[in-house]
Structure 1
Amino acid sequence: MNVQHADPLEEVLTLVGTTSRLSVGLAAGGEWALAFDPPEGVKFNAIRRGRCLLTVEGVPEPIELAEGDCFLLVQPRAFTLAGGADVRPVPAAPIFAAATDGVARVGDGEDVLLLGGRFDFGERARELLLDALPPVIHVPGHTAEAATVRWALEQIAAELRARPPASALVTEHLALVMLIHLLRLHLVTAGPGGTSGWPAGLTDPVVAPALRAMHADPARPWTVSQLAGVAAVSRSTLAARFKQVVGRGPLEYLTGWRLELAAARLRRGDETLEAIAREVGYGSVSALSNAFKRRIGVSPRDYRRRAGPV
């Protein structure tokens, strides 16, 4: 069987319309602590100099951050950054509103320097990607695996210092490079229970080949036996392992992914329902409509009408 393979992480990040936005930096020293409201999107910060403590609502223990470390706040939760454990935090918003030269300042001196921003996603990102991740992902800067993240941060810092032409566009793309590497590192190092859903399948030796095959050719009339052949295991082994790791069976996953692709095309609004049905593996508009309404809750036509022009 001639089977192509695709990268599910790349496809999901593309489908949900990932964009990045850098915020002002933070310089801090002495005794300081800032309380942040739950952020929009996915917040990220990198420690360019010094050390501090990150406390996230609902996460039992504070996270010690050292120079070179970075973190993603995946869920919209309140959090605190502090120079020490016993400092009473003040609201961060007024401090950042008073920033000058792209840097907010708090405390006494500049022992600690942070670079941050956020990633924004389309409407389906929460269910497709973010809910499968822990509320906060911490990547220590001293690890060899974080070399590319450190490189991206160095380039971002250089762009922000020099402000050459098109620096904003360059820094946005560099931030997306950083996001992809942070997610890759998490998938490799999370271990059992650190990730759920299809992201957990990306590092599973049985599930990953089947996942990549379905993403490469979602319109193909896959059977569990064919997918098992791709994974070089028995049909029963693939079915059981896929359900255990991803949380649903392979064909149920395939149906969900086909409908996500259909929904993305409907949001763009530039294809006929006949073309969309054919491209995502349904033989007719009625077959697509029935599956779409069963899973999404509305017909494709109503979905397109509600989504409006993108």
Structure 2
Amino acid sequence: MDPLEEVLALVRATSHLSTAVAAGGRWAIRFDPPAGVKFNAVRHGSCLLRVDGVPEPVGLAEGDCFLLTRPLGFTLASDPDTPPEPAGPIFMAAVDGVARAGAGNDVFVIGGAFSFSERARALLLDLLPPVIHVPAATPEAATVRWAIGEIETELRSAPLGGTLVAEHLALVMLIRTLRLHLAQGRGAGWLAGLAEPVLAPALRAMHAHPAHPWTVAELARVAAVSRSTLAARFKEVVGQGPLEYLTRWRIELAADRIRRSDDTLSSIARAVGYGSESALSVAFKRITGLSPRTYRSLPAPA
């Protein structure tokens, strides 16, 4: 499993499809900040996306999609001047899974959201920009467009199991969008490291064997560079040293096992590379601010 797969598995991404929107003429819909990561795709027509705190609006053409990675209010509109209506009443009046705004069917938008576990923001979402726009004209976006088209087909034809298939396709779309984002060199933190030839081998090695007693020298050999080069590039690109990154990744793995299993803290410590429960406890409290026992006793956030 590569680092991106591991992080997505750890944050337990799930998708939820929402009511589609058909609109025409002059229209504007104001959405409250979403709880998770929101996505929309324009199946035909075009519209404008405005996101709170993002200076420039984003023009969405047919085939475009976007991910909203922060809990920010946003507006979809035909133009920048039409006063927006709140989304709630419009969606409450939806018929056959389609909400309507304005007059006509000039634009058709499908969408949904992704929800994640409690550690997703620190592990993944904070490393992404508030909005990721995937233009249909981008050659690399072909598979994203394919997934969106298949989602629409499943929703329109409503075959047996269609909603489940569409939700899995939405996860495919999420992964493809993140890949496209990385391919364009726009990642930050460990995501940027995956696109860095010097760092990617070391990151993969640590994720493949997190309990191994890695040293900077050993990781440098894996990356085929000097210790000083690896340490400097890690600090520059990822924002922390390689062993600090390893510690934080081990704590993420431990936190997941503490939350999801009944394993003893001693066995979890050994599994993630610590020789004793006390050694895990010291590192865990330094990273999370809580002891492993306190963390286990707290209810998981909704």
The alignment's TM-score, normalised by the length of structure 2, stands at 0.97
* Partner secondary structure for residue 100 of structure 1: coil
Answer yes or no: is 1:256 the counterpart of 2:243: no
Q: Is 1:290–2:282 an aligned residue pair?
A: yes
Please tell me whether residue 148 in structure 1 is matched to residue 140 in structure 2.
no
Which of 201, 213, 238 aligns to 1:209? It is 201
- What pairs with 1:15-164 in structure 2 (closer than 5 Å)? 15-164=10-159
CA deviations on 1:86-141 (whole Å, 9 max, x unpaired) are: 21111111101111100000011001000000000000001110011100000001
Instruction: Write the distance in 2 (CA, Å) between the matches of 1:16 and 1:181.
Output: 17
Residues of 1 paired with 2:55 and 2:301: CA distance?
Answer: 43
Distance 1:25 1:309, change over 3 A: closer
Residues 63-108 of structure 1, C-alpha deviations (whole Å, 9 max, x = no match): 1100110000001111111111221111111101111100000011
Is structure 2 residue 5 aligned with structure 1 residue 10? yes
Distance 2:172 2:240 in 1: 30
Greater than 2 Å deviation, 4+ residue runs: 307-310
CA distance in 2, matches of 1:196, 1:309: 26
- Provide the secondary structure at the position in 2 that maps to 1:67: coil
- Counterpart secondary structure, 2:213: coil
Give the root-mean-square deviation of aligned CA atoms: 1.3
Q: Could you tell me how far apart the structure 1 residues matched to 2:208 and 2:146 are?
A: 31
Alpha-carbon separation, structure 2, partners of 1:270 and 1:158: 42
Aligned partners of 1:12, 1:64: CA distance in 2, in Å?
31
CA distance in 1, matches of 2:294, 2:81: 54
Contact 2:51 2:72 (C-alpha < 8 Å) held by counterparts: yes
Task: Pick which of 144-153 and 175-184 moved more.
Answer: 144-153
Structure 2 residue aligned with 1:230: 222
Contact conserved, 2:118 with 2:301, CA < 8 A, in 1?
no
Q: Measured at CA, do residues 265 and 157 of structure 1 come closer, stay the same or move farther in structure 2, by a change above 3 Å? A: same
Contact 1:52 1:83 in 2 (8 A): yes
What letter matches 1:67 in structure 2?
E
CA contact (8 A) 1:159 1:167 kept: yes
1:309–1:79 distance in 2 versus 1, CA, 3 Å:
closer
Which deviates the most, 204-213 or 132-141? 204-213
Which amino acid is 1:261 matched to? L
CA distance in 1, matches of 2:132, 2:234: 25
AA at the equivalent of 1:294:
R
The 1:309–1:199 alpha-carbon spacing in structure 2 relative to 1, beyond 3 Å, is closer
Residue equivalent to 1:219: 211
1:307 to partner: Cα distance = 3.6
The CA deviation string for residues 256-295 of structure 1, in whole angstroms up to 9 with x for no partner, is 0000000000001321112111110001111111111222
Shift in Å, 1:309: 11
The 8 Å contact of residues 268 and 309 in structure 1, kept in 2 or not, is answered as no
Deviations 1:146-176 (A, max 9, x none): 1111111111111111211111211111100
Q: Are 2:29 and 2:84, in contact at CA under 8 Å, matched by a contact in 1?
A: yes
Task: Tell me, in whole angstroms, the C-alpha distance in 2 between the residues paired with 1:11 and 1:35.
Answer: 35
1-structure distance, mates of 2:190, 2:299: 26
**Structure 1, unaligned runs of 5 or more:** 1-5
Per-residue deviation, residues 18-63 of structure 1 (Å, max 9, x unmatched) = 1000000000000011111111100000000000010111111111
Segment of structure 1 superposing worse, 75-84 or 296-305: 296-305
The amino acid of 1:44's aligned partner reads F
Distance 1:173 1:213 in 2: 29
Q: Distance in 1 between matches of 2:243 and 2:301?
A: 31
1:55 is paired with a residue whose SS is: strand
Deviation at residue 188 of structure 1 after TM alignment: 1.0
Cα distance, 1:306 vs structure 2: 1.1
Q: Distance in 1 between matches of 2:284 and 2:100?
A: 51
**Letter of the structure 2 residue corresponding to residue 219 of structure 1:** A
- 96-105 vs 157-166, which moves further: 157-166
Q: Which position in structure 2 is the counterpart of 1:247?
A: 239
